[in-house]
């Protein structure tokens, strides 16, 4: 487009069932019972204990009491509704670790959206700015308290700084790195999309800085214990800034590489997922059925993504070479797979797109069956 002097203009549209789900989620907290409201407020206030930020309980009771008359669609209250819904989901999932992981990931996505819109990113700091707002908006102080409680509920230790016109919520040093690594699955997909359309240099710059913060500075990787039991497998050991973790890596049906880790220790699973994210691998912890078993599964493309540190991709390529030497993979399949790890492949998360060119306009479609309406209109 640039070569022809044209500027890309696009918008995101929600339609059909997907729009209904988004609206239902945003509106859900409007139907809270008296007991649910009390549990929600207790949850928020608990995460503000010993912070010197008193008085929120009374203000929340007033705002939640007025909820039915304040629709989520009103611009002045959208942030408040979103914060309440995210916090409510965390509160409701508190006793279910599997659901809490999913709720936590959504909360990080919401915070990332806020930072990209109203925040700043520096080499060692992530800052979210909350302004005074218009007359009919929820007061900035109440929104700051909700953001603060949300960050505390997710395990962060934010700092607050004020100036004449705004309040700044700061994550500094290790806290900024933790947030960036938690947000890395979103950042990897955003980076590819923003590179393609270059629509907002300010947001693109923030995404790039966050990715830099998330990346480990010192990375090592090696393969140990190569063996063939039906199919080739080995232990992949990854070290990121001094933190080491081990995973099983195996060749699947001679045409794919899979990384896996399974444990009954949720905390250890989260630690190993964090190590993978620090080297650029999209990794999530998921519960296995109804049992107290946690697992990490990483596909070939996620492991070969160009966002993954070269040391890790190179080590996986060495594993494939051993598979070839053992006669466990055909030459053509080896060249195809090894090529992926040598050059790196684009990783768009769970979203895949196809492009349909009509007379007017140009539509970008998601191949996800749940979202068949045009996703981006050019």
Q: What is the pLDDT of residue 378?
A: 43
- Give the CA dihedral 68, 73, 77, 82, nearest 10 degrees: 90
| Phi, psi dihedrals of residue 107, rounded to the nearest 5° | -65, -40
* Domain spans of the chain, in order of start: 13-212, 219-343, 349-378
Q: Give tens-digit pLDDT for 177-216.
A: 889 888 877 776 676 666 654 555 778 888 888 888 887 7
Beta bridge partner(s), residue 244 = 239
Measured distance between the N- and C-terminal CA atoms of the chain, rounded to whole angstroms: 11
Dihedral sign for Cα atoms in the order 196, 127, 73, 153: positive
Question: 12 falls in which pLDDT band (50, 70, 90)?
Answer: very low
What span, in angstroms and rounded, lies between the C-alpha atoms of 157 and 172? Answer: 9
Lowest mean pLDDT among 18-32, 38-52, 101-115, 215-229: 18-32
Rounded to whole angstroms, the Cα distance separating 256 from 333 reads 9
Q: How far is CA 8 from the centre of its chain?
A: 26
Long-range interactions of 131-135: CB distance < 8 A, separation 24+: 131/165, 131/166, 132/165, 132/166, 133/76, 134/76
Structure tokens at 198: 């270059």
Could you give the CA distance from residue 299 to residue 279 in angstroms, rounded to a whole number? 15
- Asked if residues 151 and 158 have their Cβ atoms less than 8 Å apart, the reply is yes
Determine the pLDDT at residue 349: 44
What's the angle, vertex CA 111, arms to CA 107 and CA 114, rounded to 5?
145
149: confidence class by pLDDT, cuts 50, 70, 90: very high
* CB contact at 8 A, 326 and 232: yes
DSSP secondary-structure letter at 345? B
pLDDT interval class at 229 (50, 70, 90)? confident
pLDDT at 70 over 70: no
**Is the pLDDT confidence value at 240 over 80?**
yes
Assign 335 a pLDDT band (cuts: 50, 70, 90).
Answer: very high
Distance CA 108, CA 154 (A): 8
> What pLDDT was estimated at residue 373?
43
Query: pTM higher than 0.75 for the full model?
Result: no
Per-residue pLDDT band at 56 (split at 50, 70, 90): confident
Answer whether residue 358 shows pLDDT above 60: no
Residue the block writes with tokens 């768009």: 348
Tokens of 39: 């549990």
Cβ contact 311:304 at 8 Å: no
Mean pLDDT of 255-267: 91
Query: Would you state the pLDDT for residue 69?
Result: 53
**pLDDT surpassing 60 at residue 353:** no
Helix (H, G, I), strand (E, B) or coil at 272: helix
**Range with top average pLDDT, 11-25, 210-224, 340-354:** 210-224
Neighbours of 223 (CB within 10 A): 16
Q: Is the pLDDT of residue 48 over 80?
A: yes
Given this model, what pLDDT does residue 259 score? Answer: 96
Q: Tell me which DSSP letter residue 138 carries.
A: P
Q: Which parts of the chain are beta strand (E)?
A: 11-12, 119-121, 125-131, 159-162, 166-172, 219-229, 231-240, 243-252, 256-263, 286-287, 294-298, 353-357, 362-366, 374-377
């Amino acid at each position: 487009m640039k070569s022809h002097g044209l500027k890309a203009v696009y918008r995101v549209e929600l339609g059909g069932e997907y729009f209904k789900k988004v609206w239902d989620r945003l509106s859900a907290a409007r139907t809270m019972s008296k007991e649910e409201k009390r549990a929600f407020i207790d949850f928020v206030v608990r995460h503000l204990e010993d912070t010197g930020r008193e008085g929120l309980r009374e203000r929340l009771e007033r705002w939640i009491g007025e909820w039915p008359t304040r629709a989520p669609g009103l611009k002045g209250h959208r942030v408040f509704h979103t914060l309440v819904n995210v916090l409510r989901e965390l509160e409701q999932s508190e006793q279910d670790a599997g659901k809490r992981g999913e709720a936590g990931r959504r909360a990080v996505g919401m915070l990332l959206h806020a930072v990209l819109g109203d925040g700043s990113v520096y080499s060692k700091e992530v800052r979210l700015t909350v302004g005074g707002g218009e007359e009919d908006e929820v007061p900035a102080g109440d929104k700051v308290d909700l953001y603060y409680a949300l960050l505390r509920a997710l395990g962060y230790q934010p700092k607050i700084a004020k100036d004449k016109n705004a309040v700044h919520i700061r994550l500094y040093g290790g806290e900024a790195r933790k947030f960036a690594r938690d947000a890395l699955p979103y950042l990897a997909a955003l980076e590819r999309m923003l590179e393609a359309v270059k629509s907002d240099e300010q947001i693109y710059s923030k995404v790039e800085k966050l990715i830099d913060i998330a990346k480990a500075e010192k990375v090592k990787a090696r393969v140990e214990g190569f063996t063939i039991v039906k199919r080739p497998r080995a232990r992949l050991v990854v070290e990121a800034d001094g933190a080491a973790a081990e995973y099983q890596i195996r060749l699947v049906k001679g045409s794919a590489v899979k990384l896996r880790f399974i444990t009954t220790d949720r905390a250890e699973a989260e630690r190993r997922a964090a190590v993978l994210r620090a080297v650029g691998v999209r990794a999530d912890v998921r519960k296995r059925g109804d049992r107290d078993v946690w697992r990490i599964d990483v596909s070939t493309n996620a492991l070969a993504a160009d966002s993954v540190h070269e040391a890790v991709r190179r080590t996986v390529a060495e594993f494939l070479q051993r598979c070839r030497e053992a006669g466990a993979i055909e030459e053509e399949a080896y060249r195809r797979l090894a090529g992926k790890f040598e050059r790196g492949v684009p990783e768009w998360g769970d979203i895949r797109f196809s492009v349909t060119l009509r007379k007017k306009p140009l539509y970008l479609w998601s191949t996800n069956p749940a979202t068949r309406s045009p996703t981006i209109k050019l």
